[in-house]
Structure 1
Amino acid sequence: MTNVLIIENDSIVAQELKMMIEQAGLGFTVCDVIHSVVDARVWLMTNKAPQLIFCDVQLADGLGFDIFSNMPVVAPVIFCTHDGDYAFKAFENYGIDYLLKPLSPEKLRRSLLKFAQLKELFGEENALTKRPASSPVTYRNNYKTSLLVYYQDKIIPISLDKLDFIYYNNYQVSVYAQNARYETRDTLNNIITTLNPKDFFRANRQFIIHRKAVTSIQQYFGRKLLIGIASPTPEPVIISKANATDFLKWVEGMHYQAPLPMLLENARLVN
């Protein structure tokens, strides 16, 4: 049996989807139904990873894409929505299919068969499906050592050891390394999943920072932290009160995995 997690804002739609999946006769079973971004992130961090996820795009507390922010790939995702405008973003966030509501048994069956074909093609001999049954989501060991960026109409690799921070503003992601600025077509959400959490921290919705670039830490309003960076930043780097303790531990090298409070706060961020 293939375990499926449903993340759906409407409980009635979720139950109808569950019934269609299990009655498709293709060996799929629904392991749980979740209704919000935050609950989905907590579930994925504390349960065995499903083999497939059906995810509503528009949830009560954010977009379905927010669930996978700062998290490793846990399973292929089939996104479902009434709106066709999110299709491109869906395929940037581990999506293998994009279904428009209302769903029909025929459309659903085709999507399930697509997953089955991909599963057969690529096999299951990978880290995503070979975790122990009791193991929650953990970070990968094969992190990037360089990042491809655009500079003077060329694509060049930048060593992550040289990187100071990555900055998002007005739909543009910029990479700053040794006082030089480069552009990338990727999103912060996708980039952070490829970086070693020992070295990189998602400070807020604008910044990913390298630990070596941190030069000072000051108390800020509301028990937040103001972070000094080795090279000039376009705006101040602020760590929220909720993430302050985890950030200090990260600076000291006390743990390498993004803690639950940080992930829960970032679940509400839209990149």
Structure 2
Amino acid sequence: MTNVLIIESKPQDAAALKRMIEQIGSELNVCGTVNSVRDARNWIMNNKAPQLIFCDIQLPDGSGFDIFGSLTIAAPVIFCANGQEHALKAFENNGIDYLVKPFSSDRLQKSLKKFEQFKQVFGRETISQKQDFNHAVSSVNKYKSSLLVYYQDKIIPISLDKLDFIYYNNYQVNVHTQNTQYETRDTLNSIINSLNPHDFFRANRQFIIHRKSVTSIQQYFGRKLLVGTSFPTPEPVIISKANASEFLKWVEGLNKVPEYSVMH
């Protein structure tokens, strides 16, 4: 049984989160709910340590980060917030994931799956050791789980699970999902370095593609590869001869980190 502590400013949100957690898995037990920095400190000092913490960042008497700055806490934390602006600091404070409110049951389930994978890789005894825990967190969270894009004069996060491809043309980089195109100010180079190479590949100077979108591969002129995709693209997705071998390994899941020959 995994004991879960919820630190949430709004009691109704805490109750909703508790129901979602317990519906997802019978092995999850919400052992406590508190709604302030003070109450969280008191609970942690007077109860058996939980194995997982959900923590709201904006609490009535301060920030959720204040809790972890004053206490030595080994439990991993899934932070919850109304925006993306605290994401980096979250991963510096025992964070293994970051949920933007409101989030769905499916998104919560992915966070809990990430926690289970974390336990399997590093073991419960390792998680209880602060130094090893921090090293493990930095490894798990090396890559982004979402991209910030511009849409109708707003900056919004796009989950990488929804992304089909990223396309560069005429000095503009656009992020494409199944139904919408978004603008980003990042370059393809900076984006690819922040994405998990298991899921994304820099096809050429124009495209970064998601593994789930590859439907077929054909031989092309000059030993290049023509990639068939599950989505329409502005131009054909062509893999150069130099990158063909790495691409095929990537599709099979054999390589670790592709070394691209395109520089742009």
Larger relative contact order, structure 1 or 2 (CA cutoff 8 Å, min sep 6): 1
Q: Whose helix proportion is higher, 1 or 2? A: 2
TM-score, normalised relative to structure 1: 0.46
TM-score, normalised relative to structure 2: 0.48
Q: Max radius of gyration: which structure?
A: 2
